[in-house]
């Protein structure tokens, strides 16, 4: 299969390109990137896509998408969520191990990889559980899990309360130089918490999660990194104080990276409104100052990547009083739009759009150690072609994911995916 | 933000919280309550305002007192009252909150009086009814989690107005477990809307959020300082489960620091009134000498509570 994509504005942050270019794809790989007017001799396309007015970017790399398999098929299935990924232009995704059973055995990982492969859509990279059953007591067979296809080890949203176990896990992972993905959230200070421990929670009578839950966990992790030199990826930062600690730790030279969930670039505690359970998230939406610090962190590079933190939740678990609702939002199909919205809020300068795309392509791929998220000659032809100006309305019928809940329901967002190409195959077109 | 309690004509459709309700809505409820106070003294203690209407008391959390006062209020308005203690019925069989509501709606309920352990649960119900095109069914919040207890707030305002006439020159102190108190939150919103210039909250730092001041109150950690020259003291109930643990070391130590004794009461204005939403813990938050003393208006609060609940239900039923 040979495809030619003509006249598009090609944005490939990894190679510093933001210009009109023609893209030639052959055998699942990028064969050439040429300036307009140049022609690739002897290249006979099976298909030509005119991308005039559209942006051609690397397919997106999402560092956290819950596919809900195995175990939670009533919330979502691999089929539905892979569709959602294609609709959202996400061609590679990392999935956390909090399935049922937990991804703590090689067989489960192999099964998931196999199921994903037969669907032949997005590339799926599982994270293995750091501890058996995510219980925080004993280590998993990390080497075996890596052989089965895990790209790192994570506790998902479960804290490791026992710091001895955490240190051992980091030492063991460092033995093989595996990366450990941790969500900085102190298990005691966040226990029973429903919302950011700020004025909105006080007014609404919701138990708060203080910022100290994040900063204390970060201090603990950084001390253990100093002791073990383990490579740590910090998942879902939520506060200005937390980002400040990350910034300083990076200056110190600690081997850390961090990400933020896309919803948190825009939403604040105020968006809970009158107990909107769609705004029930973990970590919670925090203050405007925290939100602004996240935006700044994307600009100054403290935030390495943005992920969708895609969490399909069904009606039965969302249409409940705020405190009983399951946290999380659908995200795969909003990731691009929420990044473009951030770029719009920055004034839509070309650098801003390029930066926005970097955070969901090459920068994210680098965090996960994947050779993806770039449009170099010879690299896998994972591509998203989108219309940056087209608006779409976030309503359930516009979402392919089985998860229909997001605090952006009813909003108009910029950016519509026109084509998603995975491994040189057009997997989605609108 | 759209206030989900008001319909598009600005009339009260549900009573979910006092926050955001205009002053004239609150005053109208209090004035209406005044006209009902005498009904209870009549030989026939009934008015026919809600004849033929069905009021469902939906108590997802145990309560005897509040449920009873709502029941009496509805019956004095001639409504039919159905009491459901859902704690021990359907949700334990796995039925969801909104399924329960749909079933009761199919039985042609006119009003739901809801108590729930989760903050915001009555909002979910009200929004569900509005969405499913049942705007003629009204929801009254009878206490949700730590969030709101609007009829208690209103009856407190009624009591204060009865004894103090004006709000605009008062200092009101709310004492005790403010953190977990839906009564405190409703009182604070009501006092602010009605123009009380100084609202104080008094308690240890474990029971008052550090950002409480953003609700428009002054925070005192010392009882003696906080009670100085106040006109109204609202004592809060300290729940048993808070008394021994990480929030407080013991009920005894709490009483020593924050219990309302006659000596402490003397720090307030000589004509200060003492209120309590009940049920009281004598010897924990309040000394019996104060609870039974001349400045306590705790029993009149209960009486006015019925009139205020009659006012709320009749106004909702008429909207």
- Chain centre distance of CA B204: 23
Detail the DSSP E strand segments found in chain B.
54-59, 80-85, 111-116, 138-144, 171-175, 198-202, 218-220, 232-235, 273-275
Instruction: For the domain made up of A59-376+389-412, give the CATH fold.
Output: TIM Barrel (3.20.20)
Report the distance separating Cα A379 and Cα A270, nearest Å: 44
CA of B124 vs chain A CAs: smallest distance (Å): 6
Tell which of B95, B145, B206 to mutate to test the A interface (max A CBs under 10 Å): B145
Taking CA atoms, A177 is separated from A126, A146, A171, in Å, by 17, 11, 9
Beta bridge partners of A324: none
Mean of pLDDT values over B218-235 = 98
Report the distance separating Cα A373 and Cα A379, nearest Å: 9
- CB neighbourhood size of A289 (10 A): 12
In a domain, B8, yes or no: no
Statement to judge: residues B112 and B174 lie in one domain: no
Statement to judge: residues B131 and B262 lie in one domain: no
pLDDT tens for A84-111 read: 999 999 999 999 999 999 999 999 999 9
DSSP run (H or E) holding A108: helix A106-119
Pairing of strands A256-261, A305-307: parallel
Would the pLDDT of B45 be above 90? no
Detail the DSSP E strand segments found in A47-178.
47-50, 55-58, 60-62, 90-95, 123-126, 128-129, 153-154
Report the distance separating Cα A212 and Cα B75, nearest Å: 51
Would the pLDDT of B89 be above 60? no
Would the pLDDT of B3 be above 80? no
| Alpha-carbon torsion (B22, B23, B24, B30), positive or negative | positive
Closest Cβ opposite residue B116 in set A206, A316, A321 = A321
Check if A205 contacts B (Cβ < 8 Å): yes
Mean of all residue pLDDT scores within chain B: 93
- Chain centre distance of CA A160: 22
| Alpha-carbon torsion (A146, A148, A151, A152), positive or negative | negative
Among A13-27, A323-337, A343-357, B176-190, the minimum mean pLDDT is found in A343-357
Phi/psi-derived region of residue A423, left when phi > 0, alpha when psi is between -120 and 50, beta in every other case: left
pLDDT tens for B262-275 read: 999 999 999 999 99
pTM of the model: 0.94
Q: Which two tokens stand for residue A354?
A: 């390029």
Report the distance separating Cα A7 and Cα A21, nearest Å: 6
Terminal-to-terminal C-alpha distance of chain B:
22
Report the distance separating Cα A284 and Cα B313, nearest Å: 37
Place of tokens 């004849």: B51
Q: What is the pLDDT of residue B87?
A: 67
Q: Which two tokens stand for residue B244?
A: 């021994």
Closest Cβ opposite residue A321 in set B19, B120, B185 = B120
CB contact under 8 A, A274 and B147: no
Statement to judge: residues B199 and B273 lie in one domain: yes
Torsion of CA A43, A46, A51, A52, to 10 degrees: 70
Statement to judge: residues B139 and B235 lie in one domain: no
Closest CA to B33 of B68, B66, B83, B76: B76
In a domain, B15, yes or no: no
CA of A36 vs chain B CAs: smallest distance (Å): 50
Would the pLDDT of B76 be above 90? yes
A239-252 burial by CB neighbour count: b if 16+ within 10 A, else e? bbbbbebbbebbee
The percentage of residues in chain B with a pLDDT greater than 70, rounded to a whole number, is 97
Place of tokens 């099976």: A46
Mean of pLDDT values over A299-306 = 97
Q: Which residues of A touch B127 (CB under 8 A)?
A: 274
Q: What is the pLDDT of residue B2?
A: 63
Identify the closest residue of chain A to B120 by CA–CA distance.
A275
Chain B residues in contact with chain A using a Cβ-Cβ cutoff of 8 Å:
1, 4, 16, 19, 96-98, 116, 118-121, 123-124, 127-128, 144-148, 182, 185, 209, 211-212, 214-215
In a domain, B10, yes or no: no
Closest Cβ opposite residue B1 in set A199, A273, A323 = A273
In a domain, B18, yes or no: no
Residue of A62, A309, A363, A382 with catalytic role:
A309
Answer whether A295's CB lies under 8 Å from A341's CB: no
Among A48-62, A231-245, B29-43, the minimum mean pLDDT is found in B29-43
Pairing of strands A383-393, A412-422: antiparallel
The count of structural domains within chain B is: 2
Interface of A with B in 280-339 (CB under 8 A): 316, 319-324
Phi/psi-derived region of residue B152, left when phi > 0, alpha when psi is between -120 and 50, beta in every other case: alpha
Report the distance separating Cα A319 and Cα A110, nearest Å: 35
Would the pLDDT of A55 be above 90? yes
User: Residue A424, preceding bond cis, omega within 30 degrees?
Assistant: no
Q: What is the pLDDT of residue B1?
A: 52
In a domain, B2, yes or no: no
In a domain, B7, yes or no: no
In a domain, B208, yes or no: yes
Beta-carbon contacts of residue A317 (< 8 Å; ≥ 6 apart): A75, A325, A326
Mean of pLDDT values over A124-132 = 98
Statement to judge: residues B175 and B125 lie in one domain: no
Report the distance separating Cα A173 and Cα A225, nearest Å: 12
Statement to judge: residues B89 and B171 lie in one domain: no
Tell which of A194, A199, A202, A209 to mutate to test the B interface (max B CBs under 10 Å): A202
| Alpha-carbon torsion (A280, A286, A288, A293), positive or negative | negative
CA of B98 vs chain A CAs: smallest distance (Å): 8
Statement to judge: residues B234 and B258 lie in one domain: yes
pLDDT tens for B173-211 read: 999 999 999 999 999 999 999 999 999 999 999 999 989
Which CATH number do you get for residue B231? 3.40.50.1370
Q: What is the pLDDT of residue B88?
A: 53
Q: Which residues of A touch B1 (CB under 8 A)?
A: 273-274
pLDDT tens for A254-274 read: 999 999 999 999 999 999 999
Look at residue A94 and give its three-state secondary structure.
Answer: strand
- DSSP assignment of B44-67: S----TTTT-EEEEEESS--SHHH
CB contact under 8 A, B120 and A273: no
Statement to judge: residues B219 and B113 lie in one domain: no
Report the distance separating Cα A226 and Cα A210, nearest Å: 25
Report the distance separating Cα B144 and Cα B132, nearest Å: 22
Would the pLDDT of A72 be above 90? no
Beta bridge partners of A90: A60
Total CB pairs under 8 A between chain A and B: 68
Statement to judge: residues B118 and B231 lie in one domain: no
Report the distance separating Cα A11 and Cα A392, nearest Å: 22
The percentage of residues in chain A with a pLDDT greater than 70, rounded to a whole number, is 100
Check if A42 contacts B (Cβ < 8 Å): no
Mean of all residue pLDDT scores within chain A: 96
Statement to judge: residues B222 and B82 lie in one domain: no
The percentage of residues in chain B with a pLDDT greater than 90, rounded to a whole number, is 83
Q: What is the pLDDT of residue B243?
A: 79
Q: What is the pLDDT of residue A282?
A: 96
Mean of pLDDT values over A225-245 = 98
Q: Is A292 a catalytic residue?
A: no
Report the distance separating Cα B146 and Cα B124, nearest Å: 16
Q: What is the pLDDT of residue A29?
A: 97
Closest CA to B58 of B146, B117, B135: B117
Would the pLDDT of A408 be above 70? yes
Confidence of residue B95 (pLDDT cuts 50, 70, 90): confident
In a domain, B1, yes or no: no
Statement to judge: residues B111 and B182 lie in one domain: no
CA of B114 vs chain A CAs: smallest distance (Å): 13
Confidence of residue B42 (pLDDT cuts 50, 70, 90): confident
To the nearest 10 degrees (0 to 180), the angle between helices A240-252 and A288-300 is 30
Question: Which residue range is the domain that position B122 belongs to?
Answer: 23-146+305-318
Closest CA to A152 of A216, A206, A97, A112: A97
Answer whether A152's CB lies under 8 Å from A180's CB: yes
Statement to judge: residues B226 and B312 lie in one domain: no
């Amino acid at each position: 299969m040979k495809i030619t994509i003509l006249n598009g504005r090609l944005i490939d942050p990894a190679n510093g390109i933001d210009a009109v270019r023609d893209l030639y794809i052959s055998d699942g790989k990028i064969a050439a990137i040429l300036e307009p007017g140049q022609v690739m001799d002897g290249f006979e396309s099976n298909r030509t896509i005119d991308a005039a007015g559209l942006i051609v970017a690397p397919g997106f790399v999402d560092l956290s998408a819950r596919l809900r398999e195995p175990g939670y098929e009533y919330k979502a299935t691999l089929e539905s969520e892979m569709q959602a990924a294609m609709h959202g232009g996400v061609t590679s995704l990392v999935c956390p191990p909090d399935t049922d059973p937990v991804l703590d055995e090689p067989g489960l990982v192999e099964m998931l990889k196999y199921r994903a492969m037969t669907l032949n859509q997005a590339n799926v990279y599982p994270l293995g559980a750091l501890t058996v059953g995510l219980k925080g007591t004993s280590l998993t067979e990390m080497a075996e899990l890596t052989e089965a296809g895990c790209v790192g080890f994570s506790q998902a949203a479960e804290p490791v309360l026992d710091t001895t176990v955490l240190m051992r896990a980091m030492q063991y992972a460092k033995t093989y130089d595996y990366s450990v993905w941790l969500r900085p959230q102190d298990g005691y200070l966040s226990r029973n918490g429903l919302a950011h421990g700020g004025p909105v929670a006080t007014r609404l009578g919701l138990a708060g999660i203080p910022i100290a839950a994040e900063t204390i966990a970060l201090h603990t992790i950084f001390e253990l990194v100093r002791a073990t030199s383990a490579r740590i990826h910090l998942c879902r930062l939520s506060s200005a104080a937390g980002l400040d600690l990350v910034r300083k730790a990076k200056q110190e030279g600690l081997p850390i990276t961090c990400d933020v969930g896309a919803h948190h670039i825009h939403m604040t505690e105020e968006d809970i409104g009158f107990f909107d359970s769609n705004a029930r998230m973990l970590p919670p939406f925090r203050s405007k100052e925290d939100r602004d610090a996240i935006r700044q962190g994307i600009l100054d590079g403290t935030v390495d990547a943005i992920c969708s933190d895609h969490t399909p939740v069904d009606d039965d678990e969302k249409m409940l009083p705020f405190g009983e609702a399951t946290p999380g939002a659908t995200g795969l199909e909003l990731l691009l739009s929420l990044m473009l919205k951030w770029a719009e809020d920055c004034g839509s300068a070309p650098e801003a759009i390029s930066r926005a795309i970097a955070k969901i392509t090459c920068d994210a791929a680098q965090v996960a150690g994947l050779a993806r998220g770039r449009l170099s000659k010879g690299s896998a032809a994972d591509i998203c072609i989108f219309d940056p100006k087209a608006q779409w309305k976030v309503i359930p019928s516009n979402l392919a994911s089985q998860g229909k809940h997001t605090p952006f329901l009813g909003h108009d967002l910029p950016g519509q995916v026109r084509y998603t190409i995975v491994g040189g195959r057009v997997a989605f077109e609108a | 933000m759209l206030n989900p309690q008001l319909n598009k004509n600005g009339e009260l459709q549900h009573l979910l919280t006092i926050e955001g309700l205009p002053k004239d809505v609150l005053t109208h409820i209090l004035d209406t309550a005044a006209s009902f106070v005498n009904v209870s003294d009549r030989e026939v203690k009934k008015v026919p305002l809600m004849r033929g209407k069905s009021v469902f008391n939906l108590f997802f959390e145990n309560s005897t007192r509040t449920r009873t006062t709502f029941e009496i209020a509805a019956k004095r308005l001639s409504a039919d009252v159905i009491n459901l203690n859902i704690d021990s019925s359907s949700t334990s069989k796995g039925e969801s909150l909104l399924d329960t509501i749909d079933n009761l709606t199919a039985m042609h309920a006119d009003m739901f009086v809801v108590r729930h352990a989760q903050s915001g649960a009555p909002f979910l119900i009200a929004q569900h009814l509005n969405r499913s095109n049942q705007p003629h069914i009204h929801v009254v919040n009878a206490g949700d989690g730590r969030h709101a207890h609007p009829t208690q707030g209103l009856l407190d305002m009624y009591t204060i107005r009865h004894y103090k006439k004006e709000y605009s020159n008062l200092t009101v102190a709310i004492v005790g477990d403010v953190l977990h108190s839906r009564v405190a939150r409703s009182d604070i919103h009501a006092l602010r809307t009605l123009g009380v210039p100084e609202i104080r909250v008094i308690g240890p730092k474990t029971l008052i959020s550090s950002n409480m001041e953003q609700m428009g109150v002054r925070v005192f950690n010392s009882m003696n300082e906080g009670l100085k020259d106040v006109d109204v003291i609202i004592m809060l109930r300290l729940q048993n489960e808070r008394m021994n643990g990480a929030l407080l070391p013991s009920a005894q130590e709490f009483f020593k620091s924050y219990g309302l004794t006659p000596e402490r009461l003397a720090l307030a204005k000589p004509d200060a009134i003492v209120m309590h939403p009940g049920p009281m813990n004598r010897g924990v938050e309040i000394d019996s000498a104060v609870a039974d003393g001349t400045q306590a208006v705790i029993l009149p609060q209960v009486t006015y509570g019925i009139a205020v609940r009659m006012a709320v239900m009749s106004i909702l039923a008429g909207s």
